[in-house]
């Protein structure tokens, strides 16, 4: 499984070993890149996981494909066979298209406080700032323009892309990726009403991020008001997610873009939350729960399962008619209750 020159690519047999898939056909075929079935050309490997794209298998120009055992007989191309084609594709894509790692060192324009600790192999980009007492573990990468506060901990091999902000006292584990523009540890929305005006409540907790976490571009994770906001190991947050103060996100949970989670909410392990879902505060969601896109969660979910609370799209006039009827539901319920009382009275001879 030795790496080959990038132009020559990898032998299909090598990729089979690296992905855990079974090789069917000529293992000497060279693969240099990944592609879709529709746009693949010589040197490409594509995958079929969704049956609705099965017709493209016949016409693809890929040099090799990744398929399920059920689809293996549909093509004579050299192939990798696995029950999980998309997972094998992800592993192969990481081999064929590895992320570029910047050279270790501190850019001359970066500002690193004398009280910070910078381990071997750390890369700090242009105009980044590192506060006093902060510790960057071995192999960490701090991108251009990042602002890392005081007493922050960044784990080994973690990567912060350009313009990430990490506020004082926060911690990020090992092998994490924080994409451009994310903000970790800003104050949460803590306000107390004072005679018609708002008094800001100091937020004294931290954000603690586990290992192998990914935090998407322009995502915001607020620090705890008193206790910490905690993001568990292997959590994946998409772009423009907002997690408010004192939330806990269990390990292995994946949250799609534009989700908003209000304060002090506890989300369990291995949950899946669809894009634009809105989750109210001070509630719990159990391990293994799936929320559909645009779902609205207003109270604690007691049992794991798949939930959805969005209104499917309608033509505008149909939507107006449905909304008008919804506004009449309380009056209709009162009329039904009155009819039931009348019926019961007649049945009892009253």
User: How far is it, in rounded angstroms, from Cα 173 to Cα 233?
Assistant: 8
DSSP 132-159: TT-EE-TT-EE-TT-EE-TT-EE-TT-E
Q: What's residue 7's pLDDT?
A: 56
Q: What is the dihedral of CA 115, 119, 120, 126, to 10 degrees?
A: -60
User: How far is it, in rounded angstroms, from Cα 48 to Cα 31?
Assistant: 17
Count of alpha carbons within 13 Å of 260, Cβ hemisphere only?
7
User: How far is it, in rounded angstroms, from Cα 279 to Cα 243?
Assistant: 10
Q: What percent of the chain has pLDDT over 90?
A: 92
Q: Calculate mean pLDDT across residues 212-219.
A: 98
Check if 282 is active-site: no
Residue 182 confidence (pLDDT) above 90: yes
Residue 222 confidence (pLDDT) above 90: yes
User: How far is it, in rounded angstroms, from Cα 261 to Cα 248?
Assistant: 10
Q: What's residue 8's pLDDT?
A: 79
User: How far is it, in rounded angstroms, from Cα 12 to Cα 96?
Assistant: 12
Q: Do the beta carbons of residue 219 and residue 237 sit within 8 Å?
A: yes
Binning pLDDT at 50, 70 and 90, where does residue 3 land?
A: very low
Q: What is the pLDDT of residues 90-120, one digit of tens each?
A: 999 999 999 888 999 999 999 999 999 999 9
Beta pairing, strands 10-11 & 30-31:
antiparallel
Q: What's residue 310's pLDDT?
A: 80
Q: Calculate mean pLDDT across residues 273-278.
A: 98
pTM for the full predicted model: 0.90
Q: Domain 10-96 is in which class?
A: alpha beta
The helices-and-strands tally (H runs, E runs) of the chain is 5, 39
Q: What's residue 5's pLDDT?
A: 46
Binning pLDDT at 50, 70 and 90, where does residue 347 land?
A: confident
Nearest alpha carbon to residue 75 among 84, 87, 88, 62 = 62
Task: Work out the number of other CB atoms within 10 angstroms of the CB of residue 269.
Answer: 17
Kindly report the CATH number that applies to the domain delimited by 105-307.
2.160.10.10
Binning pLDDT at 50, 70 and 90, where does residue 348 land?
A: confident
Roughly how many angstroms between the first and final C-alpha of the chain, as a whole number? 88
User: So where are the chain's domains?
Assistant: 10-96, 105-307, 316-347
Q: What's residue 309's pLDDT?
A: 86
User: How far is it, in rounded angstroms, from Cα 263 to Cα 225?
Assistant: 9
**DSSP 3-state helix, strand, coil percentages of the chain (rounded to 5)?**
20, 25, 55
Count of alpha carbons within 13 Å of 193, Cβ hemisphere only?
2
What phi, psi does 291 have (nearest 5°)? -115, 130
Residue 256 confidence (pLDDT) above 50: yes
User: How far is it, in rounded angstroms, from Cα 166 to Cα 147?
Assistant: 6
Residue 1 confidence (pLDDT) above 50: no
Q: What's residue 2's pLDDT?
A: 42
Q: What's residue 350's pLDDT?
A: 60
Q: Do the beta carbons of residue 281 and residue 299 sit within 8 Å?
A: no
Q: What's residue 4's pLDDT?
A: 43
- Which of the following is catalytic: 127, 242, 245, 282? 245
Binning pLDDT at 50, 70 and 90, where does residue 6 land?
A: very low
Q: Do the beta carbons of residue 45 and residue 66 sit within 8 Å?
A: yes
Q: What is the pLDDT of residues 68-98, one digit of tens each?
A: 999 999 999 999 999 999 999 999 999 999 9
């Amino acid at each position: 499984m030795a790496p080959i020159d990038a132009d020559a690519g990898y032998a299909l047999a090598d990729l089979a070993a690296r992905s855990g898939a079974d090789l069917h056909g000529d293992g000497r075929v060279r693969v240099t890149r990944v592609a879709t079935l529709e746009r693949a050309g010589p040197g490409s490997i594509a995958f079929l996981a969704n049956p609705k794209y099965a017709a493209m298998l016949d016409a693809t120009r890929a040099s090799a494909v990744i398929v399920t055992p059920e689809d293996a007989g549909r093509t004579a191309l050299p192939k990798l066979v696995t029950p999980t084609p998309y997972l094998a594709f992800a592993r192969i894509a990481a081999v064929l298209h590895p992320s570029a790692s910047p050279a270790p060192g501190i850019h001359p324009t970066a500002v690193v406080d004398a009280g910070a600790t910078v381990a071997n192999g750390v890369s700090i980009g242009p105009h980044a700032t590192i506060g006093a007492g902060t510790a960057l573990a071995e192999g960490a990468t701090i991108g251009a323009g990042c602002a890392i506060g005081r007493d922050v901990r960044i784990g080994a091999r973690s990567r912060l892309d350009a313009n990430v902000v990490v506020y004082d006292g926060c911690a990020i584990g090992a092998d994490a990726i924080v994409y451009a523009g994310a903000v970790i540890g800003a104050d949460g929305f803590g306000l107390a009403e004072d005679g018609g005006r708002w008094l800001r409540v100091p937020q004294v907790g931290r954000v603690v991020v586990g290992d192998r976490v990914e935090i998407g571009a322009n995502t915001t994770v607020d620090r705890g008001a008193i206790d910490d906001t905690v993001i568990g190991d292997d959590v994946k947050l998409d772009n423009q997610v907002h997690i408010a103060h004192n939330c806990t996100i269990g390990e292995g949970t994946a949250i799609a873009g534009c989700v908003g989670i209000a304060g002090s909410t506890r989300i369990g392990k291995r949950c899946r939350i669809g894009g634009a879902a809105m989750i109210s505060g001070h509630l719990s969601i159990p391990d293994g729960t799936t929320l559909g896109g645009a779902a609205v969660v207003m109270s604690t979910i007691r049992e794991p399962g798949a939930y959805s609370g969005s209104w499917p799209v309608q033509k505008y006039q149909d939507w107006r008619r449905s909304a008008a009827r919804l506004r009449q539901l309380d009056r209709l319920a009162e009329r039904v209750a009155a009819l039931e009382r009348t019926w019961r009275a007649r049945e009892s001879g009253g």
